[in-house]
Amino acid sequence: MRQINQLLFCCFFLSVFSSPGFAQDSINVVTTAVPMLRISPDARAGGMGDVGIASTPDANASFWNQAKIPFATQKSAIAVTYTPWLKDLGLNDVYLISAAGYHQITEDQALSGSLRYFSLGNIQFTDFAGNDLQRFTPREWAFDAGYSRRLSDKIGVGVALRFIYSNLGNGTFQGTPLKPGTAVAGDLSFFYDGRNETGKGLTAGAVMSNLGSKITYTQDANAKDYIPANLGLGVMYHAVIDETSKLSFGMDINKLMVPTPPGRVRTPEEIAAYRNKNVVGSWFSSFGDAPGGFGEEMREFQVSVGAEYSYNDLFFARAGYFYEDKTKGNRRFFSLGAGIKYNKLGFNFSYLVPTGQGINRNPLSNTTRFSLLFDLGGDGDE
């Protein structure tokens, strides 16, 4: 439990997810509401440094790239993942639970769905004088449904529609009544499968996710926040070592399609212009609106690299690295993962290796994820 006021709680959640503790003048982090949509909800991808856009499809494909699903080898599958969150900060009641699944309705078409539920624990709210106000359990969830289609033997596309619910506080803050925030968003995805009949070759993908409305927690029409619209590009090469062993190397590059805040010195006019940008226009302007110019814009790209070794499609070992510039959040970590599959049941585990010391220690250190996967129905077509 944490005794923090409502404002500090919201700032805590956003800043912990973005930065492990730097305080430099050049920092200008692109922040959004509902940052839980940026948390990897899949132990397999988590073990590869959050690489998932172009990996081979499984039950969690709808979290990364809807267009992969028609290329899955199983006709139907479901998965459930549990992620204890920020345990390195001593929080024992903050967690993410996710579930996903798909069904190939024809040889070339598939339907999918997923659910994410994020609990931020039981929190004691206080006023600025430290007086207890109330206890509350902030929580967020998002549900989406998707459709994907294979256009050829090598190309697939997908779309998804998502409903987002975020309830971070109750009562009033500085005289303003608080309410749960809601938003609607969609995903557009593309997948290329260049593997041959042995499984050797290149896969690639592109996804624009969380393209949707702003979200607000009050009745103030000017107090709306951006959700984490994102452009993701991924590529993975799959090598066949012998009849039993396969090795894959992949890279994902992501950039938030969200306006960059004004520089450190911000006038009221600049803040108003930033908050009131048109949502659709902001997706495109986000590639050229950084106050520091092209150099700062390039620092807003996040890079994930990872590898997966498979033995007889039964045992799996994974490793990866995630990089984010220190002025844009400074999330940097190594991850390890393992998996096992027997008949129709699979289990994946991932672990985020601790990095940093003291105030610079990564608050995501020791993060673990556990996924159970169930293959249902008959074999799909590759």
Q: Which domain holds residue 260?
A: 3-379
At 275-325, the pLDDT tens digits run: 888 999 999 999 999 998 999 999 999 999 999 999 999 999 999 999 999
Q: List the single range of 9-18, 85-94, 200-209, 260-269 with lowest mean pLDDT.
A: 9-18
Residue 160: per-residue pLDDT: 98
Our count of domains for the chain comes to 1
Q: What is the mean pLDDT of the chain?
A: 88
CATH number at residue 189: 2.40.160.40
More confident residue, 379 or 71: 71
Judged against a pLDDT cut of 90, whether residue 60 lies above it is answered with yes
Residue 360: per-residue pLDDT: 66
At 232-280, the pLDDT tens digits run: 999 999 999 999 999 999 999 999 999 999 876 677 888 888 888 899 9
Residue 16: per-residue pLDDT: 40
pLDDT-derived band at 184, boundaries 50, 70, 90: very high
Judged against a pLDDT cut of 50, whether residue 14 lies above it is answered with no
At 185-202, the pLDDT tens digits run: 999 999 999 999 999 999
Residue 275: per-residue pLDDT: 85
At 99-116, the pLDDT tens digits run: 999 999 999 999 999 999
Residue 5: per-residue pLDDT: 40
The answer to whether residues 368 and 84 touch, using CB atoms and an 8 Å cutoff, is yes
Distance, C-alpha 160 to centroid of its chain: 15
Q: State which of 5-19, 20-34, 58-72 shows the largest mean pLDDT.
A: 58-72
pLDDT-derived band at 173, boundaries 50, 70, 90: low
Judged against a pLDDT cut of 70, whether residue 12 lies above it is answered with no
Residue 57: per-residue pLDDT: 96
Judged against a pLDDT cut of 80, whether residue 174 lies above it is answered with no
Residue 127: per-residue pLDDT: 67
Judged against a pLDDT cut of 90, whether residue 24 lies above it is answered with no
Residue 169: per-residue pLDDT: 79
